Amino acid sequence: MKIAISGSEGQLGLSWQHYLKGDLDDTEAKSSTILPGYYESKVYNSSDSEAIYWLPLNRAQFDLCVPESIQTTLDRFQPDVLINTAAYTKVDQAEDEQELAFECNAKGVAALGKACMERDIRLVHYSTDYVFPGLEEDALKYPSGYPESAPTDPVNIYGETKWKGEQELLSLESNVLILRVSWLCSAYGNNFLKTILKRAKSHGQLKVVNDQIGVPTFTEDVIEQTLQLLQLNAQGVLHLGSKGIISWHDFAKEILEFADINVPIEAVSSDFFPSKAVRPKFSKLSTSKLENLGIKVWPWQRACKRVVSSLKDI
């Protein structure tokens, strides 16, 4: 199976690369002799022992805002599956750059979906909890998290563009898998967990909001869940994630406890950190549908401990 990974320089794209390389570092990753541009993976499709070949695509090769680059790259490398981690993700900046955000997350995704459909390429596209309103009262209405069927109602431009991208793909009625994630964390790229560790070491004290709740999702779990869904030939919209629910403040406390760092953390309201884009108060996604397919969903602490341990020298 030939897998191409767009957005390879972002957090999720980097995580895919490291996962597929296994224990190999960048200098040891073995290029395929029969598939130019691809790398051989140590990961196999357990259902039929099919080898996986993977291809990282950076923005210079694959730009969601430039449909021509999408078509040229797909024609050149002809993947069986395209894992799209590329997106416009500047949540606050999107309020001022609405046209650009829509160009990438909606129009670009529509062009990508059409290009994949025309070439019989299976598309896996990552979306976000920001497609939901994130209202405080929804925590009572959906105690297990938003199900896939919950009404969408984005409260900021970023969420609106991601929702529009979803709708564009679903309208194609092709072999598309849309996977929503929230509070994404890993050892790669920029994320909340790494920020907390860095600021705790540099500032000696922290202020973190306690009126936004959700559950951290770790990229290694996301990748493993995605691969299992590919094996099951799943289609449509699914939520990936972890078990549990926590506030950003309590999550920060747990991170520092796992890292054995003792600094004071003050709980503050969202008003303490004013931002252009409205942030959801409730971000938990239900993973019941995923679990009903027989896919394991782990407590968030499991991956968190592993990631924190890998970042001791951050």
Question: Which of left, alpha, beta for 260 (phi over 0: left; psi -120 to 50: alpha)?
Answer: left
Percent of the chain with pLDDT over 90: 86
Q: Tens digits of per-residue pLDDT, 1-53?
A: 999 999 999 999 999 999 998 755 555 567 877 788 899 887 765 555 578 89
Q: Tens digits of per-residue pLDDT, 85-117?
A: 999 999 999 999 999 999 999 999 999 999 999
The residue annotated as part of the active site, out of 19, 39, 88, 158, is 158
158 included as an active-site residue: yes
- Tell me the mean pLDDT in the region 197-204: 92
Task: Say if 203 falls within a structural domain.
Answer: no
The span from the CA of 62 to the CA of 166, in Å, is: 19
- Number of folded domains that form the chain: 1
Task: Say if 93 falls within a structural domain.
Answer: yes
Confidence of residue 209 (pLDDT cuts 50, 70, 90): very high
* Token pair of 109 as six digits: 């995704």
Task: Say if 95 falls within a structural domain.
Answer: yes
The pLDDT value recorded for residue 175 is: 87
The pLDDT value recorded for residue 97 is: 97
Task: Say if 144 falls within a structural domain.
Answer: yes
Task: Say if 255 falls within a structural domain.
Answer: no
Task: Say if 196 falls within a structural domain.
Answer: no
Question: Which of left, alpha, beta for 22 (phi over 0: left; psi -120 to 50: alpha)?
Answer: left
Domain that holds residue 174: 2-189+215-242+284-297
Task: Say if 230 falls within a structural domain.
Answer: yes
Task: Say if 50 falls within a structural domain.
Answer: yes
CATH code, 228: 3.40.50.720
Q: How far from 127 is each of 120, 124, 166, 167, 246, CA to CA, in Å?
A: 22, 10, 7, 11, 21
Other Cβ atoms less than 10 A from the Cβ of 264: the count is 9
